[in-house]
Amino acid sequence: MAEIIWGLATSHVPSIGAAMDNAKTHDEYWSPLFEGYQPARDWMAQHTPDVVLVIYNDHANAIDLDLMPTFAIGTASHFPVADEGWGPRPVPPVLGHPELATHIVESLVDDEFDITVANQLQVDHGLTVPLSVYTPEPGDSWPCPVIPVLVNVLQYPQPTAKRCYALGQAIGRAIASYPENIKVAIFGTGGMSHQLSGERAGLINESFDHMFLDKIQTDPEELTRITREEYIREAGSEGIELIMWLVMRGAMNPVITRIAETYHVPASNTAAALALFENSENPS
Amino acid sequence: MAEIIWGLATSHVPSIGAAMDNAKTHDEYWSPLFEGYQPARDWMAQHTPDVVLVIYNDHANAIDLDLMPTFAIGTASHFPVADEGWGPRPVPPVLGHPELATHIVESLVDDEFDITVANQLQVDHGLTVPLSVYTPEPGDSWPCPVIPVLVNVLQYPQPTAKRCYALGQAIGRAIASYPENIKVAIFGTGGMSHQLSGERAGLINESFDHMFLDKIQTDPEELTRITREEYIREAGSEGIELIMWLVMRGAMNPVITRIAETYHVPASNTAAALALFENSENPS
Amino acid sequence: MSSKPDIEGTYVFGIEDNRRGYALNKLCSTFTSAENRQLFLGDEASYCDKFDLSPEQRSAILERDWVKMLDLGGSIFYIFKLAQLDKKSVQYLGGIFTGMSTEEFIAELKAGGRHFG
Amino acid sequence: MSSKPDIEGTYVFGIEDNRRGYALNKLCSTFTSAENRQLFLGDEASYCDKFDLSPEQRSAILERDWVKMLDLGGSIFYIFKLAQLDKKSVQYLGGIFTGMSTEEFIAELKAGGRHFG
Ligand SMILES: [Fe+3]
Ligand SMILES: [Fe+3]
């Protein structure tokens, strides 16, 4: 039986990746963020999974304007790194886990989730930046295979927070029913508060962010009652990415342990956070 | 408030379209099928909707191997007729109804259906053949706008029959909540029993087909309990298209009236059927 | 570990088949453009070179080995586009798949179709 | 009749915007290929001719009227690819959207970001 061992919530702004790619992590601007990452990185290096699921959104790269899925799962054996308009990030190729991904898709569709199957997929910064947050120096290859789980946050109507949490719960059931004894980590990415365009560009809402960082562990159900409109109003037009953290949270046990946390403003135009949770034993 | 006035279940094999396009409907081979259509066509011509929803599947034309949605809805203002490999069918352009389609998508996503939005879409025989069954001689234009609703039947795992029926019920709620007073017809297409490849190619299962034709009106819930495997085993690898009739049925009232029905073997490699139902008043 | 059912005499196209048959199906998918149809008919072998076909897939296409195409991950809806280029019908393919002549296959359908189980 | 929320100072990109802004966003989407980036930079006007842009969209692109692009159905994620071609940052765009210089916009972010409501 496969098992989720930990969950990582992290922002995925491209500039966090660029800071690493261009060796700027010790700059005055970036060092507070990367120093904040260190305790989580140290702990994760001691608790290595066999495969990671990355919940993220594509940013106008692999998903076409023509056909926009609410939820998609990548079932390929490898995922080329996308050229987002300035050449692909200089990171290792991303390898998939077709067997587990196929099992998850089949399980979710049986469970009444209307999954789009990404049989082929290029991955953008939404996926590769979280991998870099986890493994800053991967060398020639990432430490394990990756299953991309895509959520539409770009085009209204995004899935509701409630539906994202339910998807996570169903992913948790799917992983628990996978017959191989493997360890899985799950990443919820995006956020925190940020808005790129319009007169509210540059919006940061620290109190909403801290509330969310707290409740994602202790009371995710309350976060599922926040409407799309409220997410956009409070966290900004791009802050709605936070619903993807709820997918991660739903896949984990009711009780989880906070291993590390950091919050920093600004990383580019966003409030950036990291929160790492160990999946506690379920009292059964 | 928009209202569904009738539902049409019909096979959508390309050769039915080709028979019409090539004026072969009076041939010995085709005339029994087209004579069977006549009572339904006469009744529909007296009960014209303002818009039709066509539940269908794409056949390797507009939906790419790379990204295969479980459910997709076309929100464009027009849908070009696809070249499926032998030039586009000589039929009028298909116009959409973006306002109602957008309302349905938003309503379904709120209702926890994970819809893929087809902002642009080419339509193949799966959609145009049912339009021709409805309107054999459209002249320069189809009688009304069309909203394509796509269901994955090509790649396992297809949605369950139960999920298809639930989608139909949610579509029914979405239409009922549309503020304009318009009349809607809904088409469930595909089927009946058929299989194109493998040693069972040419499979026809009349008793399953007749059971299905009966229960789609009187006991659709029972049809939702049939597994994917059983659909494929009984109705053939392509006969699983019948799950799309359940979307149509779900959108209609619990009690519906059968206006017309016909069943014929063969139309190309398939058993072809048509069943027309009027949406009876709901006792409320 | 897929839950895909195994049904005798029946291809059920699933996610693993999509992966395995990708290049073959992708090639056939390009026949939705008249220009590509011309290019293929003009020089089949070099058209094949543009896709990452396995040697088996390549020869199945060039030799029109329809059963092999399915066995190698082809989906009937993609493969049928190649058959159409050859002006072959679904009944022709049905005959091939069932070991009959096209005429025999059509006759069975006219007699009410083939029954199983 | 869309339920899309209307939030002051905020673009919420929806299905209707996708339809309205399609050609503009599509054009920007092609910048994911180096070849297309070269083609565009070589001759912007004739590159624009390949897309079914409205006259307003066309001039918004050629004149780099970023606010107008958004108003005409552009999505920030597509438009940003054009900004990157110009070597402009999201902070530069943020300054434009808020009527500040890039430096002022960056300073506000460094001071904890902009607060509303
Ligand atoms: Fe993002
Ligand atoms: Fe079909």
Average pLDDT over residues D50-61: 98
In this structure, are residues B102 and B81 in contact, taking their beta carbons and an 8 Å threshold? no
Query: A20 — phi, psi (to 5°)?
Result: -70, -45
Q: How many whole angstroms from its chain centre is CA A90?
A: 20
For D62-95, what is each residue's pLDDT tens digit?
999 999 999 999 999 999 999 999 999 999 999 9
What would the two tokens of residue B114 be?
A: 């994970």
On whether both C38 and C82 belong to a single domain, the answer is yes
Residues of B in contact with C3 (CB under 8 A): 157
Q: Could you tell me the CA-to-CA distances from A239 to A135, A232, D83 in Å, in that order?
A: 24, 6, 21
Q: What is the pLDDT of residue C117?
A: 75
The domain containing residue D99 runs over which residues?
A: 88-117
Q: Burial, D36: exposed, middle or buried (Cβ in 10 Å; 0-12, 13-18, 19+)?
A: middle
HSE (side-chain half, CA atoms, 13 Å) at D2 = 18
Q: What is the pLDDT of residue A282?
A: 58
Average pLDDT over residues A60-73: 97
Q: What angle do CA B113, B115, B116 make, to 5 degrees?
A: 165
**What one-letter code names the amino acid at A190?**
G
What would the two tokens of residue D18 be?
A: 């996708």
pLDDT above 70 as % of chain C: 100
- What is the DSSP code (8-state) at residue D30? G
Q: What is the pLDDT of residue B282?
A: 58
For B82-99, what is each residue's pLDDT tens digit?
999 999 999 999 999 999
Average pLDDT over residues C12-34: 98
**CA–CA separation, D17 vs D22, rounded Å?**
8
Ligand 2 centroid–CA C83 distance in Å is 17
Does residue A255 belong to the interface with chain B, where contact is any CB pair within 8 Å? no
**CA–CA separation, A271 vs A77, rounded Å?**
34
| DSSP of A173-190 | HHHHT-SS--EEEEEEE-
Mutation for C interface: A51, A75, A77, A102, most C CBs within 10 A = A102
Residues of C in contact with B60 (CB under 8 A): 25, 28-29, 75, 77-78, 81
Q: What is the pLDDT of residue B280?
A: 85
Is A125 one of the annotated active-site residues of the chain? yes
On whether both D37 and D54 belong to a single domain, the answer is yes
On whether both D66 and D115 belong to a single domain, the answer is no
- Asked whether residue D54 is domain-assigned, the answer is yes
**CA–CA separation, D16 vs D20, rounded Å?**
6
Q: What angle do CA B254, B256, B262 make, to 5 degrees?
A: 135
The set of long-range contacts for B209-214, using a CB threshold of 8 Å and a minimum separation of 24, is B209/B235, B209/B263, B209/B271, B209/B273, B210/B263, B212/B242, B212/B245, B213/B261, B213/B263, B213/B273, B213/B275
On whether both C59 and C107 belong to a single domain, the answer is no
On whether both D23 and D80 belong to a single domain, the answer is yes
D15 and B98: CB-CB below 8 Å? yes
Average pLDDT over residues D48-74: 98
For B249-260, what is each residue's pLDDT tens digit?
999 999 999 999
How near does any CA of chain B get to the CA of C21, in Å? 10
In this structure, are residues B55 and B252 in contact, taking their beta carbons and an 8 Å threshold? no
**CA–CA separation, D63 vs B45, rounded Å?**
53
| DSSP of A80-119 | PBPB-SS-B-S-PPEE--HHHHHHHHHHHHHTT--PEEES
On whether both D81 and D58 belong to a single domain, the answer is yes
| CATH number for position D81 | 1.10.700.10
Q: Residues near B267 by Cβ (< 8 Å), separated by ≥ 6?
A: B11, B13, B15, B16, B30, B33
Q: Where does the pLDDT of residue C72 fall: very low under 50, low under 70, confident under 90, or very high at 90 and above?
A: very high
- Give the chain B residue nearest A165 (alpha carbons): B112
- Asked whether residue D50 is domain-assigned, the answer is yes
- Asked whether residue C93 is domain-assigned, the answer is yes
Whether the per-residue pLDDT at A36 is higher than 90: the answer is yes
On whether both C61 and C104 belong to a single domain, the answer is no
Q: Which residues of D make CB contacts under 8 Å with B?
A: 1-4, 14-16, 18-19, 22
Q: Which chains touch A (3 or more CB pairs under 8 A)?
A: B, C, D
> Please, what is the angle between helix C76-85 and helix C34-42, to 10°?
70
Mutation for C interface: A119, A121, A175, A180, most C CBs within 10 A = A119
Query: D2 — phi, psi (to 5°)?
Result: -65, 150
Q: Where are the alpha helices (DSSP H) in C1-117?
A: 15-20, 22-29, 34-42, 44-49, 55-62, 66-71, 76-85, 90-98, 102-110
For A234-274, what is each residue's pLDDT tens digit?
999 999 999 999 999 999 999 999 999 999 999 999 999 99
Q: Which residues of B make CB contacts under 8 Å with D?
A: 75-77, 98-99, 101-103, 105-106, 110, 117, 119-120, 178-180
C93 and B202: CB-CB below 8 Å? no
Q: What is the pLDDT of residue D87?
A: 97
Ligand 1 centroid–CA A40 distance in Å is 21
On whether both C98 and C117 belong to a single domain, the answer is yes
Q: Residues near B169 by Cβ (< 8 Å), separated by ≥ 6?
A: B250, B251
Q: How many C-beta neighbours within 10 Å does residue B253 have?
A: 17
Q: Residues near A10 by Cβ (< 8 Å), separated by ≥ 6?
A: A129, A130, A133, A187, A188, A189, A273, A274, A275
Q: How many C-beta neighbours within 10 Å does residue B274 have?
A: 23
**CA–CA separation, D48 vs D61, rounded Å?**
9
Average pLDDT over residues C6-35: 98
B203 and C37: CB-CB below 8 Å? no
Residues of B labelled as active-site residues: 125, 194
Q: Could you tell me the CA-to-CA distances from B228 to A217, B223, B224, B238, C7 in Å, in that order?
A: 38, 11, 10, 11, 12
Give this complex's ipTM. Answer: 0.97
- Asked whether residue C66 is domain-assigned, the answer is yes
How near does any CA of chain A get to the CA of B238, in Å? 19
Partner residue facing B119 (CB), from D1, D2, D18:
D18
Residues of D in contact with A60 (CB under 8 A): 25, 28-29, 75, 77-78, 80-81
- Number of residues that this document lists for chain C: 117
Whether the per-residue pLDDT at B283 is higher than 80: the answer is no
Residues of C in contact with A105 (CB under 8 A): 15
- What is the DSSP code (8-state) at residue B226? S
Residue from A136, A61, A141 nearest A95 by CA: A141
For B58-81, what is each residue's pLDDT tens digit?
999 999 999 999 999 999 999 999
Q: Which of A175-193 are b and which e, b meaning 16 or more Cβ less than 10 Å from the residue's Cβ?
A: beebeeebbbbbbbbbbbb
Using a CB cutoff of 5 Å, list residues around ligand 2, an ion. B 190
Residues of A in contact with D34 (CB under 8 A): 83, 87
Taking the domains of chain B in order of start, what are their residue ranges? 3-271
Q: Which chains touch D (3 or more CB pairs under 8 A)?
A: A, B
Query: CATH classification of A3-271 is 3.40.830.10, yes or no?
Result: yes
**CA–CA separation, B22 vs A169, rounded Å?**
53
Partner residue facing A103 (CB), from C1, C18, C22:
C1
pLDDT above 70 as % of chain A: 99
On whether both D22 and D44 belong to a single domain, the answer is yes
- Give the chain D residue nearest A206 (alpha carbons): D112
pLDDT above 70 as % of chain B: 99
Average pLDDT over residues B5-11: 98
Whether the per-residue pLDDT at B284 is higher than 70: the answer is no
Q: Could you tell me the CA-to-CA distances from A217 to A252, B274, D61, D101 in Å, in that order?
A: 10, 54, 45, 39
Whether the per-residue pLDDT at B281 is higher than 60: the answer is yes
Partner residue facing B110 (CB), from A106, A121, A160:
A160
Q: Tokens 């699921």 identify what position?
A: A53
Average pLDDT over residues A156-164: 98
**CA–CA separation, A267 vs B159, rounded Å?**
41
**CA–CA separation, A179 vs B210, rounded Å?**
40
Closest ligand to the CA of B267: 2
Average pLDDT over residues B105-115: 98
Write down the mean pLDDT value for chain C: 97
C15 and A105: CB-CB below 8 Å? yes
Closest ligand to the CA of B16: 2
End-to-end CA distance of chain C: 27
On whether both C65 and C100 belong to a single domain, the answer is no
- Asked whether residue D103 is domain-assigned, the answer is yes
**CA–CA separation, B157 vs C15, rounded Å?**
8
Query: B268 — phi, psi (to 5°)?
Result: 55, -125
- Asked whether residue C46 is domain-assigned, the answer is yes
Mutation for B interface: C25, C40, C77, C103, most B CBs within 10 A = C77
**CA–CA separation, D79 vs D83, rounded Å?**
7
Ligand 2 centroid–CA B12 distance in Å is 6
On whether both D30 and D20 belong to a single domain, the answer is yes
Cross-strand bridge partners of residue B74: B118
Write down the mean pLDDT value for chain A: 97
- Asked whether residue C103 is domain-assigned, the answer is yes
Residue from B139, B256, B138, B142 nearest B188 by CA: B256
Q: pTM of whole model > 0.90?
A: yes
| DSSP of D32-64 | GSHHHHHHHHH-HHHHHHTS---HHHHHHHHTT
Ligand 1 centroid–CA D75 distance in Å is 13
Average pLDDT over residues B160-170: 98
Partner residue facing C94 (CB), from B64, B202, B232:
B202
Q: What is the pLDDT of residue A284?
A: 46
Q: How many domains does chain D have?
A: 2
For A199-238, what is each residue's pLDDT tens digit?
999 999 999 999 999 999 999 999 999 999 999 999 999 9
> Please, what is the angle between helix B125-134 and helix B14-21, to 10°?
50
Residue A199 in 3-state DSSP? coil
> Please, what is the angle between helix C102-110 and helix C90-98, to 10°?
100
- Give the chain D residue nearest B177 (alpha carbons): D1
Longest dimension (CA), chain A: 51
Ligand 2 centroid–CA B193 distance in Å is 11
Residue C31 in 3-state DSSP? helix
- Asked whether residue D1 is domain-assigned, the answer is no
On whether both C76 and C25 belong to a single domain, the answer is yes
